[in-house]
Amino acid sequence: MQFLKAILDLVFPPKCEICNSLGPDLFCKKCFAQISYLKPSTFVHSIGIYENALKKAIKKFKYGKKTELAKPLGEIMARYIQSNLGRQFIDFFVPVPLYHKRYHERGFNQSELLSHQISIMMGIPTVIGLLYRLRETIPQFDLPKKDRFKNVKGAFAVTAPSFVENRKIALIDDIYTTGSTISECTKVLREAGAQEVHIITLSRAM
């Protein structure tokens, strides 16, 4: 295996997926240094601005299907949560679900992959299937602001309310755009009896 890896490294030298510089990191230190971190707030935590290297990384991860990027990106999130929120405020993570049609088109849910990686690093579970997307919604980016809340209203449901009751939940998503998707998710979790709902997104569109 060692030998095979050495051959593979020669043919396909390991490189940064974002800037293509050669090296062992999928998301290199130079790209890492480009992240503009945002100040933590009480319930909404967006790690960095959706621009430069972070934007490229998310696009490559989500649309370029480079799912290996979930590891470095999830690690950035885990480190941020450890130092700004603290594990005592979270019983488990819930990734924002995709509508099943979108999930099958893409082949994965980016938020789910990020959440799994955060779970591995923090030792706090990710619960899949607890939050369910009932219908397809138009990507929020394509809508005028006034239509965004209507677009996602009633689009989510909690499948097992007893599991949510009195729990401290952290919702995980890749981008915070207008906040209407994530606030709709927060609303249904609160209605199901969640004690606290924290929102953690990798980036925030400005």
Phi, psi of 102 (to 5 degrees): -65, -40
Site stretch for Zn ion (CB under 5 A), options 23-31, 100-108, 110-118, 163-171:
23-31
Instruction: List binders of Zn ion among 133-172 (CB under 5 A).
Output: none
Nearest residue (CB) to Zn ion, 56 versus 102:
56
Nearest residue (CB) to Zn ion, 15 versus 187:
15
Rounded Cα distance between 197 and 171, Å, is 7
57 lines the binding site for Zn ion (CB under 5 A): no
19 lines the binding site for Zn ion (CB under 5 A): yes
DSSP code for 25: -
Q: Which of 112, 154, 113 is nearest to 137 (CA)?
A: 154
Site stretch for Zn ion (CB under 5 A), options 9-17, 36-44, 81-89, 166-174:
9-17
76 lines the binding site for Zn ion (CB under 5 A): no
User: What CA–CA distances, in Å, run from 45 to 16, 39, 83, 189?
Assistant: 26, 8, 12, 18
Binds Zn ion (CB under 5 A): choice among 26, 31, 76, 175: 31
Rounded Cα distance between 130 and 132, Å, is 6
Q: Which residues contribute to the site for Zn ion (CB under 5 A)? A: 16, 18-19, 28, 31
